[in-house]
Amino acid sequence: MSGRLAIVGLGPGDHRYLTPEARAALDAADVLYGYGPYLDRVSERAGQARHASGNRVEGARAQDALNEAAAGAQVAMVSGGDPGVFAMAAAVCGEIETGPQAWRALDIVVIPGITAMLAVAARAGAPLGHDFCAISLSDNLKPWDLIEKRLDAAAAAGFVIALYNPISKARPWQLGHAFTRLAQHLAPSTPVVFGRAMGRADEALTVTTLDQAGEVKADMATLVIIGSAETRVIARDGKAPLVYTPRVAAAVTA
Ligand SMILES: C[S@@+](CC[C@H](N)C(=O)[O-])C[C@H]1O[C@@H](n2cnc3c(N)ncnc32)[C@H](O)[C@@H]1O
């Protein structure tokens, strides 16, 4: 059998979010690669090798997996959420583009998973009901001024914005700066949703407004959704509010 590399999305949380296609790809693999905490979510199977690595070695992990597939193994590379969203699928493609010719001949499949943005949106109601975009707030792989430019453009254009990688120990101020920047375009009452560890036992959802958003704690397991001028919150007695963006947008007034 020729080698194969499946890049598998695990979804945001526990096994409820693993698709049958992803489950089958994991079962069929001789060897699994991935960031340690993601690999820990996959149950062990006798005879299946596992290679866990850190979150700063995506390129090396991709190269190892490609080499093993090129040697004939059935390899699965696991990724949290969807592997194509700020994750391993693009890292593998990058290595294939610059790597040995043999890697281009491999059977490569990308198996989708539920990305964090969709999991958080579903818990909150329907904040992505109209046009939206996703921006990673990490300035590890792009300059901060480019992030600011994209925040300005997205908010001015009326997109709902999902922020991945909002904060970390090494990036403590970026989220606060992003809120300040967005406040130049959006009303203080704009709804903001914080979703933490969605799909896991300790998941938490907070609904607030842009002027209060700086008070809410966020960490690396949090995804933030900032509404547009159209986004609304329906308050409900004794139940969580419903955040939604209507399917119909108002006409542009110059
Ligand atoms: C490097 S990105 C990977 C995204 C992933 N590929 C996906 O599709 O969800 C990591 C960021 O995704 C978000 N994230 C991942 N899992 C999450 C979850 N269960 N709940 C909330 N946000 C999550 C956080 O913003 C985190 O900093």
pLDDT tens-digit map of 165-178: 999 999 999 999 99
In sequence order, what are the beta bridge partners of 79?
A: 9
The mean pLDDT value for 56-62 works out to 90
Instruction: Calculate the alpha carbon distances from 78 to 18, 27, 37, 75, 87 in Å.
Output: 11, 12, 10, 10, 10
Average pLDDT over residues 229-251: 95
Report the C-alpha gap between 184 and 201 in whole angstroms.
Answer: 36
User: What's the 38 CA to ligand 1 centre distance in angstroms?
Assistant: 11
Q: Which residue has the tokens 């959420």?
A: 81
Q: Residue 254's pLDDT band (boundaries 50, 70, 90)?
A: low
Instruction: Quote the pLDDT of residue 44.
Output: 87
pLDDT of residue 56: 81
Alpha-carbon distance of 52 to 250, in angstroms, equals: 49
Best residue for ligand 1 mutational test, from 7, 38, 78, 86 (most atoms within 8 Å of Cβ): 86
Taking the C-alpha atoms of residue 246 and residue 249, their distance in angstroms, rounded to an integer, is 7
Residue 151 has pLDDT above 70, yes or no: yes
Q: What is the band of 54 on the pLDDT scale with cuts at 50, 70, 90?
A: confident
What the block records as the tokens of 51 is 């290679």
Nearest CA to ligand 1 atom 27: 165
Average pLDDT over residues 124-130: 98
* Better pLDDT: 192 or 58: 192
What is the Cα gyration radius of the chain? 20
136 Cα to the center of ligand 1, angstroms? 10
Q: How far is the CA of 116 from the centre of ligand 1 (A)?
A: 5
Atom 5 of ligand 1 has which residue's CA nearest to it?
A: 81
Is pLDDT of 24 > 90?
yes
Helix (H/G/I), strand (E/B), else coil: 179: helix
- With a Cβ cut-off of 6 Å, ligand 1 is lined by 12-13, 79-82, 85-87, 115-116, 120, 164-166, 195-199, 220-223
Which residue reads 């995804």 in tokens?
A: 223
User: Which residue did the predictor score with more confidence, 247 or 251?
Assistant: 247
Confirm if 218 and 163 have CB atoms less than 8 A apart: no
CA neighbor of 8 nearest in space, from 77, 64, 95, 62: 77
Mutate to test the pocket of ligand 1, among 38, 164, 220 (most ligand atoms within 8 A of CB): 164
Indicate the average pLDDT of the chain: 95
Element (H, E) at 244: strand 239-244
Taking residues 6-26, report their average pLDDT.
95
Q: Residue 90, exposed/middle/buried by CB under 10 A (0-12, 13-18, 19+)? A: middle
What is the 75 CA–ligand 1 centroid distance (Å)? Answer: 23
Check residue 253 and give its pLDDT: 66
Instruction: Tell me, in angstroms, the distance from the centre of ligand 1 to residue 80's CA.
Output: 7
Whole-angstrom Cα distance, residue 245 to residue 230? 6
pTM: 0.96
Domains of the chain and CATH, by start? 4-111 (3.40.1010.10), 116-244 (3.30.950.10)
For the ranges 12-16, 31-35, 117-121, the lowest mean pLDDT is seen at 12-16
Contact between residue 119 and residue 196 where contact means Cβ atoms under 8 Å apart? no
From CA 243, how far away is CA 235, in angstroms rounded? 9
The residue among 87, 84, 193, 199 whose CA lies nearest residue 132 is 193
Return the residue whose CA atom lies nearest to atom 7 of ligand 1.
81
Q: How far is CA 172 from CA 74, 168, 189, 203, in A?
A: 40, 6, 24, 22
For residue 116, give Cα distances in angstroms to 7, 21, 87, 221, 243: 17, 19, 12, 9, 17
Distance between alpha carbon 109 and the CA centroid of its chain, in Å? 19
Looking at residue 250, its pLDDT comes to: 82
pLDDT at 1: 67
Task: Return the DSSP state at 250.
Answer: P
